[in-house]
Amino acid sequence: MTPVLTFMVYRLALHPTNFQIIRDELKSIPNTQDSQELQKLSHLNAFIHEVMRVHPPILDGLQRNTPSEGVIISEQYIPGNVTCLAPFHTIARRECQTHYLISRFKLKNGFTVESCFEDAEEFIPERWTTAPHLTKDKSAHMPFSLGPYGCVGKNLALVFLRLTTAFLVHNYDIGFAPGEMKSTIIDESNNTVTNNPGPLKLIFKKRRHQTEFGDGVDVNDGHGLC
pLDDT tens profile 83-102: 887 777 777 776 644 344 43
User: What is the structure's pLDDT at 41?
Assistant: 97
Longest dimension (CA), the chain: 75
- On whether the CB atoms of residues 166 and 7 are closer than 8 A, the answer is no
pLDDT higher than threshold 80 for residue 203: yes
pTM comes to 0.77
- On whether the CB atoms of residues 121 and 93 are closer than 8 A, the answer is yes
Domain borders along the chain are 2-57+123-176+186-197, 63-113
pLDDT higher than threshold 70 for residue 74: yes
Where residue 159 falls among pLDDT bands split at 50, 70, 90? very high
